[in-house]
Amino acid sequence: MAKAGSTALEPETERPIPESGYLYKYRSLKEGTDRDNTLAILSGNQMWWGRGSSFNDPFDCSHHIRYEHTDAEWEALFGDAFGKGLRALGNWVEAGTARLLGKEPPAPGTEPVQVSLSMTAEDREGKPVSLSEVLNRSRARDLKKTLVSIDEAIGVLCLSQEPDNILLWSHYANSHDGICLRFDVAGHRAAFTRLHPVTYQDDILKLEAPIQDLLGLFKGRPRLLIDIAAIMRGDHTEEEHPARQIASWFYTKSTDWAYEREWRAITSPPGLVRFPARALTGVIVGCVNTEANLALVREAVQRKKPRPKLYVAVKKRDAFGLDIVPADQPRTSNMEQLLT
């Protein structure tokens, strides 16, 4: 079973934490799998760190990478990357290809990439395709494999600064018929690895081609990738630097989600990750089916040491909002609840 822990690359004292020291996780108590998994968090001290592809936002952890190159760009890349060795190898390949096709071999000293780009390949439909198109297709396939492997290797825990946001209660706690967990992240930093606030912006991240090569290097080293991402979040490297762009990979979302005031912790691999029992300091029960859900929570935490404090969310009388009050505090009568 995976276990969250600190890393030498990310000193605990340098990680950001919310001003209150707490972060919150909304959970459903809908009968069935949702309820079973939520109660297991309370009794078993473990949470699911999910893959980015499983989130409800299809843009999450999936930013635009420009991988296509024009003929001129491919020529420059090949020339810069391989120099004379590539030219010599290319001339040899082109000469052999020309002989097989019954064509004249390239003249001595001719740039092989230039000759290659003047030739065509046949795609599956028998249409002529330039070499740059073939290379772009190959790059796209490789990029897809790389992104899938990274997605499969990295788990993300999504938390919020807000315990009383009515939209979060609606979206993630079964329309207020659920709970919200309060975690002391300030006192248990090692349990929330690579913790950073999410950045919200209007434009999707547009990453240039070198990013693909960097991601390829990290494909088999997911922990190194996420350590670098976490470190660079606090660095002042220029925004266009590839490492800085990678740092934004896991922590950037559309401004449409800004109301969530989200923070994220990241680990590898994804799956169930244990947390210290003392890290869970409070459980807030939603304003729908409060008493029944409060009984479920009390039963789930009765053997916990220490027990988290229990709270309930109460609808404000004169505003669209919630008050979070201790569960043992006297609340409105049944008649008053019916009238609110």
Please report the pLDDT score of residue 214 as a whole number. Answer: 62
- Calculate the alpha carbon distances from 9 to 194, 226, 236, 264 in Å: 10, 10, 17, 18
Distances (CA, A) of 51 to 69, 228, 270: 30, 18, 6
Polymer length in residues for the chain: 340
247/299 Cα distance (integer angstroms): 42
Q: How far apart are the first and last CA of the chain?
A: 46
Contact 275, 188 (CB under 8 A): yes
What does the pLDDT read at residue 69? 76
For the record, the structure tokens of 64 come out as 């635009």
Supply the pLDDT for residue 80.
54
Three-state secondary structure readout of 49-90 = EECHHHCCCCCCCCCEECCCCCHHHHHHHHHHHHHHHHHHHH
| Identity at 4, one-letter amino acid code | A
Strand 178-184 relative to strand 155-160: parallel, antiparallel, unpaired? unpaired
Q: What is the pLDDT along the chain (340 residues), one digit of tens a residue?
A: 333 333 334 444 456 788 899 999 999 999 999 999 999 999 999 999 999 999 999 888 877 777 777 777 776 766 554 444 444 444 555 555 555 556 665 555 554 444 444 445 556 566 666 667 777 787 788 778 878 888 888 899 999 999 999 999 999 999 999 999 999 999 999 999 989 999 999 988 777 655 666 666 666 677 777 776 776 666 555 556 666 667 678 889 999 999 999 999 999 899 999 999 999 999 999 999 999 999 999 999 988 889 999 999 999 988 999 999 999 887 664 434 444 4
**Domain residue extents for the chain:** 12-51+154-326, 71-150
- pLDDT score at 254: 92
Q: Which of 52, 53, 6, 59 is nearest to 158 (CA)?
A: 52
